[in-house]
């Protein structure tokens, strides 16, 4: 598996799901390392068929990864969660709790979720992070927060994404998720 230096980046103001768009692009031949970003997801999903709410201000993206072996797929979700945790600490100084295997919390409120879908030797890693979402963006009963609520200021989604991608590369190499260089 190799992430290319010059990845294909697809940016959409709104998508039903970055995961669905990523799989569509995979089946149309996009290279490994392609990144799909949406300003808003209308039908985002989490693990086990759960809904992932992605209001305006969220950072929602999917990363195409292949070839992937079953051994490699086991470490990708944890590497991504740890990479996001480190990105938030380095960029914003926040101590975020990792709830294994795929959620990040600030205090007792969900801040981010990660999903990995694997088909044959291809994988799509999805990340949803509540960045600049405002109070009341989530349905009643959803215990979530955003970086904006935590810090009481707007946060650069680009800076967080860049920090995540750099940390993800380091994490996957550190934990030996991928055999060859990313």
CATH, residue 101: 3.30.930.10
Strand order across the 109-119 sheet? 9-15, 35-41, 58-65, 122-130, 109-119, 103-106, 97-99
Domain tally for the chain?
1
Residue 1: pLDDT over 70: no
Q: Which tokens in the block code for residue 139?
A: 């349905």
pLDDT (tens digit per residue) in 44-70: 777 677 777 788 899 999 999 998 887
The residue segments making up the domain with residue 112 are 9-174
Within-domain flag for 130: yes
Quick check: is 4 in a domain? no
Cα–Cα distances in angstroms (integers) from residue 23 to residues 29, 91, 117, 132, in the given order:
10, 30, 9, 27
Q: What is the pLDDT of residue 177?
A: 55
Residue 61 lies in a domain: yes
Task: Give the pLDDT confidence score for residue 44 in this predicted structure.
Answer: 79
Mean pLDDT, the chain, whole residue set: 87
Q: Is residue 1 part of a domain?
A: no
Q: pTM for this one?
A: 0.89
């Amino acid at each position: 598996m190799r992430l290319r230096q010059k990845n294909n980046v697809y940016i959409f103001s709104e998508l039903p799901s970055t995961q669905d768009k990523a799989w569509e692009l995979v089946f149309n031949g996009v290279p490994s390392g392609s990144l799909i970003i949406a300003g808003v997801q209308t039908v985002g999903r989490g693990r086990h068929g759960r809904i992932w709410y992605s209001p305006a201000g969220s950072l929602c993206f999917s990363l195409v990864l292949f070839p992937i072996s079953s051994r490699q797929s086991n470490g990708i979700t944890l590497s991504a969660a740890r990479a996001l945790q480190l990105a938030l600490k380095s960029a914003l100084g926040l101590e975020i709790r990792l709830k294994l295997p795929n959620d990040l919390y600030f205090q007792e409120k969900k801040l981010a979720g990660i999903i990995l879908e694997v088909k044959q030797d291809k994988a799509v890693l999805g990340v949803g992070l509540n960045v600049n979402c405002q109070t009341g963006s989530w349905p009643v009963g959803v215990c979530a927060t955003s970086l904006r609520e935590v810090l009481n200021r707007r946060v650069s989604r680009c800076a967080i994404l860049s920090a995540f991608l750099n940390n993800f590369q380091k994490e996957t190499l550190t934990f030996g998720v991928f055999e060859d260089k990313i």
